[in-house]
Amino acid sequence: MPNSPTAQIVALEGPDALAFAHTQFTSQVNALANGQWQFSSWLDAQGRVRALFHLARLSDERLLLVLRGGNAATFADALRRFVFRSRVKVLVDGGWTLSDATTTQDIAMYAVAASSDTIRLGCGTHTLQLNANANAVDNGNDAWRTAQVHEGWPWLADEALGEFVAPALSLHRLGAVALDKGCYPGQEIVARLHYRGGNKRHLHRVKLSMPVSDGAALLRNGREFVRLLNATSHAGRVEALAVIADEVASNIAQGTENTSDDGIEVELLDTWQN
């Protein structure tokens, strides 16, 4: 993830914006109040996560999707195919960058504070700020990245889009997936995995012996060993979120299978099973 990354944002506007989002996305969109955000995702028919995002409700007829990976224009084009007769516009809202909030006072978890040139999302331990380019200030502080890795908030590199089912990314724990709502794309797979099991990969926070690229696949004996999502370096320590098969994770924890073919040592720090 580059410094001061460009925020990838899609807006849904119109009388049917909320209803459309509720039928397409995995979270309880109808329960989202104005001035609040929630984690949500969009799945394909096989239940794989096509997009993960902060879903913010700015008003009765305007939703903002702050993507956690992927390209806004590509996502918007794909989503427009499902609009049909709904009175909703799917718009790319460009010209924003991401940073820590410049204010010293954080806002409440899941709260949204919006103005013409900044949008702040309360994230508990920190506040994520979207800056209009004309107002953007790079304060060199990217502590929000480390904070989100510690919280287990995945960021999906392009290589990870459309690859993982929701349980592998711990989306139930984040409230991004609702089991008690009507149908949405991939809903049957979500329910089957939840009630019958079958998911064999889960999300972990790991410590690595050297820096790596977001989305990199670590190999062991020529086969994928660990799939990295977002990585961060802080005070000489490299940590990342990673999706790991349960058997491999057990071996890493026991110290019997913890080094990749290119010499990167992996240590498990946290594990999220739902």
- In tens, the pLDDT along 54-65 reads 999 999 999 999
Of the chain, the end-to-end C-alpha distance in Å amounts to 25
Q: Where in the chain is the domain with CATH 2.40.30?
A: 200-274
| Cα 164 from chain centroid (whole Å) | 12
| Mean pLDDT in residue range 132-157 | 78
Assign 5 a pLDDT band (cuts: 50, 70, 90): confident
Under CATH, which architecture does the 9-151 domain have? 2-Layer Sandwich (3.30)
Q: Where in the chain is the domain with CATH 3.30.70.1400?
A: 9-151
The amino acid sitting at 187 is: Q
The predicted structure's pLDDT at residue 106 = 74
Q: State which fold the 200-274 domain adopts.
A: Elongation Factor Tu (Ef-tu); domain 3 (2.40.30)
Assign 274 a pLDDT band (cuts: 50, 70, 90): confident
Task: Report the alpha-carbon distance of residue 237 to residue 231 in Å, rounded.
Answer: 11
Give the predicted TM-score (pTM) of the model: 0.93
For residue 226, list its beta bridge partners: 218
Is the pLDDT reported for residue 1 higher than 50?
A: no
The predicted structure's pLDDT at residue 229 = 96
Is the pLDDT reported for residue 233 higher than 50?
A: yes
Rounded to 5°, the CA angle 56-60-62 comes to 50
- Mean pLDDT of the chain, nearest integer: 92
Coil/strand/helix, residue 22: helix
Coil/strand/helix, residue 118: strand
For residue 220, list its beta bridge partners: 223
Assign 103 a pLDDT band (cuts: 50, 70, 90): low
| Cα 198 from chain centroid (whole Å) | 22
